Amino acid sequence: MFSSRKRSRNSSHEIDPDEIFLDSSNLPDFNVEQFEGRIEKAIPRRNVYIIGAFFAIISILFAGKIFMVQIFHGKMYANISQNNALQHTLMFAERGVIYDRFGTPLAWNEVNPTSTDYALRMYTDDSGLSNLLGYVSYPAKDTSGFYYNDKFTGNDGIEKFYNSSLTGENGLKITETDAVGKVLSESTIRPPVKGDNIMLSIDERLQHAMYQSVANTAQTSGFVGGAGVLMNVHTGEVLAAVSYPEYNSNVMTQHIDNEKIKTYLSDKSNPFLDRVTTGLYTPGSIVKPIFALAALNEGVIDANKKILSTGSISVPNPYKPGSFAVFKDWRANGWTDVREAIAVSSDVYFYEIGGGYQGQKGLGVTNLDKYASMFGLGSSTEGTFFSGKKGTVPTVDWKALTFPNDPTWRLGDTYNTSIGQYGFQVTPIQMVRAVSAIANNGHLITPTIISQTSASSSLTSTLNIVTDIASSTPNIVDLPHISSDLYEIVREGMRMAVTTGTLQAVSVPGVEIAAKSGTAELGTQKLYINSWIVGFWPYKSPDYAFAVLLEHGPAHYALGAPAAMRSFVDWLNTNAPEYVK
């Protein structure tokens, strides 16, 4: 049976390899790691179906995505594709032009030879305007060529204070390019809006002349720096406001001459300091007209009261019995009334009316502070272009805070305060404001840098001057409780200073100037001084007030500021007689 079954099988198919018996002593050399000697096995149909289904699903997903992109979202992607060839470009607004009161451009725009994106900001080459005008920083790109700062930035002066008005509003344009970057078309989406033009109260001619007068006197006489201000006593318009030394606005804006910029930054005389508004200086005797008004108004003296000046006064030293503290005058002036005391700048007179002496009543520190503050000293006009530093009027509280180891206020402190020394600090703009109030019978006016007068009205429309700034009304505070007769007494004393007193250097033919000088001693050895002159003209009907300072010069050159002012008035007589006639 076995034999017949075997035969039947052999008759139906060939012998399979696994049916062959191998000789165990003659085995072939198989590499089993390479599947040699193993029997091949067919892939199951189930696996083939699974793989086929997987690829079918992938194909369906791709087909669906293609359908969504080309059919369902086709229009959207077509727009995106087209916009890839469209570029949005900034159109930089032109910055507003800055003019002087007669339409002379002081800061303007020129074509940029290195870039068509924005114009260059340019400034007049006339000296004396940089601290006033300031400078700007240009828009800036990142390394990818995109603007991360897309506006001009005002960094100082007018450019900074009126930056929002001068800046304007950037526009936007769209540019279509082909695949190789060729421009096919351009269209403006939003046109740029030019910045506002501004007309200053400054007369460029006066600005330059005053700067030269201050600079020349400082350079020839050894002063570190200086400042000068000229203001209309009725409108508060500042016609000139100079600070010496100064930087160059073009150099700072273009930022090309790095060596020059390094020189500015390392200059110990600090050309970036606007001495008109932020320079604080000991005033010395220029505060005496204010304290003369105070003494007259408080009844401490009358116009005819005379005080004997023998060259000094001595008061007992409470800490050293039998010894005296001596307060010197710059000279013995004899019997002196208030007009003469102003004219010859008698220290003894103001010691006595300030702090009292023997039978003479004094104002006292409280009243000194009251009247100094009333005339704007020790404070700033916040929110205005000329706000600047506040300064200091010495008081009992100030001393306690400043000198905690010696807080007691002494009579000598009152004496020194009454002649503008001790801790007194003021700015030139504060002093011109105070003197203007003396000139106009007690109207304390806030200085303005924007033109207010009819001198600019005919040019306003021609130059497209912004009217909401130019038409603003100046702020005027009427000082209380001082009669015009008392102001006149003080003005007479200031006029006498020019005709017969300490300021004959500014006695200019044809110009009736009334003035007061000040020499503030610096340091314990008093080797250096600040030299001041303040005043107004014409004496009988004042129109203009001025303040000139020369900073930190040798003590032996006491005519620093008066000499600078004389030079300026001489220039006015010849070149701008309309201001002095």
Q: For 6-29, write each residue's pLDDT tens digit.
A: 444 455 556 665 555 555 555 555
Q: Measure the CA–CA gap between 249 and 254, rounded to whole angstroms.
A: 9
CA nearest neighbour of 439 among 330, 534, 341, 340: 534
Token readout for 252 is 């700072």
Q: Give the mean pLDDT of 284-297.
A: 97
Using the predicted structure, report yes or no on whether residue 377 has a pLDDT greater than 90.
yes
Token match 């409280």: residue?
366
10 Å CB burial of residue 412 (0-12, 13-18, 19+) is middle
Q: Measure the CA–CA gap between 95 and 166, rounded to whole angstroms.
A: 5
> Residue 28: its pLDDT value, please?
56
Q: Measure the CA–CA gap between 536 and 529, rounded to whole angstroms.
A: 23
CA nearest neighbour of 231 among 434, 379, 376, 533: 434
Q: Give the mean pLDDT of 544-566.
A: 90
Coil vs helix vs strand at 550: strand
Q: Are residues 151 and 58 in contact, defined by beta-carbon separation less than 8 angstroms? A: no
CA nearest neighbour of 203 among 230, 252, 239, 157: 239
pLDDT category at 390 given cuts 50, 70, 90 is: very high
Task: Read off the pLDDT of residues 29-67 as tens digits, 9 standing for 90 and up.
Answer: 556 565 555 556 667 778 777 888 888 888 888 777 777
Distances (CA, A) of 427 to 31, 112, 510, 531: 104, 39, 30, 13
Q: Is pLDDT larger for residue 78 or for residue 362?
A: 362
* Region of poorest pLDDT, from 198-202, 322-326, 438-442: 322-326
Token match 């191998």: residue?
22
Helix runs in 222-320, H state only:
249-254, 258-266, 288-297
> Residue 89: its pLDDT value, please?
80
> Residue 320: its pLDDT value, please?
81
Using the predicted structure, report yes or no on whether residue 341 has a pLDDT greater than 60.
yes
Task: Read off the pLDDT of residues 256-282 as tens digits, 9 standing for 90 and up.
Answer: 899 999 999 999 999 999 999 999 999
Over the Cα atoms of the chain, what is R_g? 43
pLDDT category at 480 given cuts 50, 70, 90 is: confident
Distances (CA, A) of 562 to 36, 242, 375, 516: 117, 16, 23, 9
Which string of b and e fits 242-262 if b means at least 16 CB within 10 Å? Answer: bbbbbbbbbbbbeeeeeeeee
Token match 């008004």: residue?
293
Residue 344: count of CB within 10 angstroms of its CB: 22
Q: Are residues 201 and 101 in contact, defined by beta-carbon separation less than 8 angstroms? A: yes
pLDDT category at 80 given cuts 50, 70, 90 is: low
> Residue 421: its pLDDT value, please?
93
10 Å CB burial of residue 294 (0-12, 13-18, 19+) is buried
Using the predicted structure, report yes or no on whether residue 133 has a pLDDT greater than 70.
yes
> Residue 319: its pLDDT value, please?
77
> Residue 561: its pLDDT value, please?
95
> Residue 49: its pLDDT value, please?
78
> Residue 334: its pLDDT value, please?
94
Half-sphere exposure of 109 (CA within 13 A, CB side): 20
Residue type, position 207, single letter: Q
The residues facing 177 across adjacent strands are: 183
> Sign of the CA dihedral 249, 250, 256, 261?
negative
Q: Are residues 109 and 97 in contact, defined by beta-carbon separation less than 8 angstroms? A: yes
Token readout for 484 is 């015009």
Q: Are residues 373 and 379 in contact, defined by beta-carbon separation less than 8 angstroms? A: yes
CA nearest neighbour of 289 among 495, 444, 452: 495
Which string of b and e fits 358-385 if b means at least 16 CB within 10 Å? Answer: eebebbbbebbbebbebbbbbebbeebb
> Residue 361: its pLDDT value, please?
95
Using the predicted structure, report yes or no on whether residue 512 has a pLDDT greater than 60.
yes
Q: What is the mean pLDDT of the chain?
A: 87
Give the DSSP H/E element, type plus range, for residue 76: helix 74-83
Using the predicted structure, report yes or no on whether residue 462 has a pLDDT greater than 60.
yes
Using the predicted structure, report yes or no on whether residue 304 has a pLDDT greater than 80.
yes
Q: Are residues 185 and 433 in contact, defined by beta-carbon separation less than 8 angstroms? A: no
